[in-house]
Amino acid sequence: MCGIIGVIDRRKEPMDGLRIKKALSQMNERGSGEGAGYAVYGVYPEYKDYYALHVFFNNIHETKDALDATLEQWGRIVHDEEIPTYEQPNLRKTHTPWRYFFKPDKKLMAWSKSPEDDIVTYLVMKINAERKGSLVFSSGKNIGVFKASGWPEDVANFYRIEDYAGYLWLGHNRYPTNTPGWWGGAHPFNLLGWSVVHNGEITSYGTNRRYIESFGYQCTMYTDTEVVAYLIDLLVRKHGLSEELAVKALAPPFWDEIDIMAPRQKMVAKALRLAYGSALMNGPFAIVVANQESMVGFTDRIKLRPLVGGTCGNRVFVSSEEAAIRAMEPDIEHVYMPRAGEPIIGKVIP
């Protein structure tokens, strides 16, 4: 089931975590207390030029040295520390969350057009696939994901989410189906600048996974959601599609709708389906995807999951429920429900 929420301040004014915590808890009926999480953009201004790697260690003594060594092979650890946490009666601390601020050594992937991003992607895939007791769950610049198994307010209190501030927040209240409620399975999922929260189940997961794996991504989280982050990374970062077109590829119009489009529009729509048929996501879903510049929310092609959009001044909201948006912003100006496959987009004003 799951409840999702996102908000962006288009002028990049920071918002602390208090309101999103309240809004996410508003949707507890949609969760099961087995996972919740938050992603916040603009959270580490003092380290904004370094990749912020958030890591779950099974325990520090066995695993951390190995991870440090791997990172140092590929670049420089500028700073690292345990992420402060605060004991909660209803949350069992099965992992130790840690953060690194990391600078990859460009020379080590000199052939690449984006060596730093590619090094970090490679490291995330490698570390997570090896399963040696450390899991990188957040890897973007000036971005932090905070998640765990538990109810949203417990997870928020565990990290004291109100102590963090940023211009873009995603939140997720989980009701797991395919995988147990482990920490790595909680949302948001993140890779580099991309973060995803997802409600629903992707019936085309096998197709999507085999497609994305042929581009070198590795699905290691036992869940259908991570594939969305990789698909967006491929389509937007590597293939250069706009967010709107990427959404059109993932949740395209039906052929009978394409058949009656004007010729030019039809060519684009047809080409997207031909090229990205294996990226098409099927089954019921509502998804919010974010990067440093924008936030995009959309649903499956026949709208099997709810999604509500809203605006208030420079802020754009998206959520599973209107009540959650109102909990975050009681003075919301405009609330609406987008059509199936139609994106709600909030972009930073340049």
Partner 1 sequence: MSIGAIPSRYRIRIDRDQCMLCERCIESCPYGVFRKNGETIHVDSRKCTACHRCIAMCPRDAISLLEHPIDYRSHPIWTREVRESIYNQARTGKIILAGMGNAQPLPAIFDRLLLDACQVTNPSIDPLREPMELRTYIGKKPSRLEIRRTPEGDLDLVTELAPNLEAETPILIAHMSYGAISLNAQKSLAMAATEVKTFMGTGEGGLHPALYPYQDRMIVQVASGRFGVDINYLERGAAIEIKIGQGAKPGIGGHLPGEKVDADVSATRMIPVGSDAISPAPHHDIYSIEDLKQLVRGLKEATEWKKPVFVKIAAVHNVAAIAAGIARSSADAVVVDGFRGGTGAAPRVFRDQVGLPIEAAIAAVDQKLRDQGIRNEVSLIASGGIRESADVAKAIALGADAIYIGTASLVAMGCRVCGNCYRGLCPWGIATQREDLTARLDPREGSVLVSNLIHAWTLELSELMGAAGINSIESLRGNRDRLRGYMLDEGILKVLDVKPVGA
Partner 2 sequence: MTIDANGMNYTELNTRLRAAVAQGIDEVVVNNVLGQRFIADGLKGNIRITLNGVPGGDLGMFMSGPTCIVHGNCEHAPGNTMDGGSIIIHGSAGDAVAHSMRGGKVFVREDIGYRGGIHMKEYQEKRPILVVGGTARAFLGEYMAGGLIIVLGKNDGEPVSERGIGSGIHGGEIYIRGNVQERYLGTGAAIQPYSAEHRDRIAPIVQEFSKALGMDPQPFLDAEFTRICPMSSRPFAGKYTWE
Q: Which stretch binds partner 2 (CB under 8 A): 88-96, 112-120, 236-244, 298-306?
A: 298-306
CB atoms within 10 A of CB 265: 11
3-state secondary structure of 17: coil
Site residues for partner 2, window 20-59 (CB under 8 A)?
26-27, 29
- Residue 335 touches partner 2, criterion: CB under 8 A: yes
Q: Which of 120, 148, 234, 324 binds partner 2 (CB under 8 A)?
A: 324
Pairing between strand 51-57 and 134-138? antiparallel
Among 247, 327, 344, 345, binds partner 2 (CB under 8 A): 327
C-beta of 70 vs 179, nearer to partner 1: 179
| Catalytic hit among 2, 20, 23, 344 | 2
Among the candidate windows 35-43, 159-167, 179-187, 316-324, which touches partner 2 by CB under 8 A? 316-324
DSSP calls for 220-286: -SSSSSHHHHHHHIIIIIIT---HHHHHHHHSPPPHHHHHTS-HHHHHHHHHHHHHHGGG---SSEE
What is the nearest approach in angstroms of partner 2 to the Cβ of residue 110? Answer: 51
303 binds partner 2 (CB under 8 A): yes
Q: How buried is residue 259: exposed, middle or buried, by Cβ count under 10 Å (0-12/13-18/19+)? A: exposed
Q: Which does 323 bind (CB under 5 to 8 A by kind): partner 1, partner 2, none?
A: partner 2
Determine how many CB atoms are found less than 10 A away from the CB of residue 197.
30
Answer with the entry of partner 1, partner 2, none that 78 interacts with (C-beta below 5 to 8 A by kind): none
- Least CB distance from residue 300 to partner 1, whole Å? 9
Min. distance of Cβ 273 from partner 1 in angstroms? 7
The CB-of-275 to partner 2 minimum distance in angstroms stands at 25
Write the single-letter amino acid at 148. Answer: A
Output 28 or 282, the one with its CB closest to partner 1.
282
Q: Which residues ranging from 221 to 260 are in contact with partner 2 (CB under 8 A)?
A: 254, 256, 260
CB of 63 to partner 2, least distance (A): 41
Contact (Cβ atoms closer than 8 angstroms) between residue 189 and residue 226: yes
Sort 86 into a burial class: Cβ within 10 Å, 0-12 / 13-18 / 19+. Answer: exposed
Where does this chain touch partner 2 (CB under 8 A) — which range of 62-70, 236-244, 290-298, 315-323?
315-323
The answer to whether the beta carbons of residues 42 and 166 sit under 8 Å apart is yes
Which residues are at the interface with partner 1 (CB under 8 A)?
177-178, 200-201, 203-207, 209-211, 213-215, 239-241, 245, 254-256, 264-265, 267-268, 270-275, 277-278, 280-284, 301-302, 304
Question: Residue 170: which of 150, 186, 149 has the closest Cα?
Answer: 186
Contact criterion met (CB below 8 Å) for 32 and 175:
yes
H or E element, residue 153: helix 152-159
List 302, 313, 333, 334, residue binding partner 2 (CB under 8 A)? 302
Active-site residue flag, 2: yes
**Cβ burial 124-138 (10 Å sphere, 16+ → b, else e):** bbebbeeeebbbbbb
154 binds partner 2 (CB under 8 A): no
**Residue positions annotated with a catalytic role:** 2
Residues at the site binding partner 2, with contacts judged by CB under 8 A? 26-27, 29, 254, 256, 260, 302-303, 306, 308, 321-324, 326-327, 335, 337, 339-340
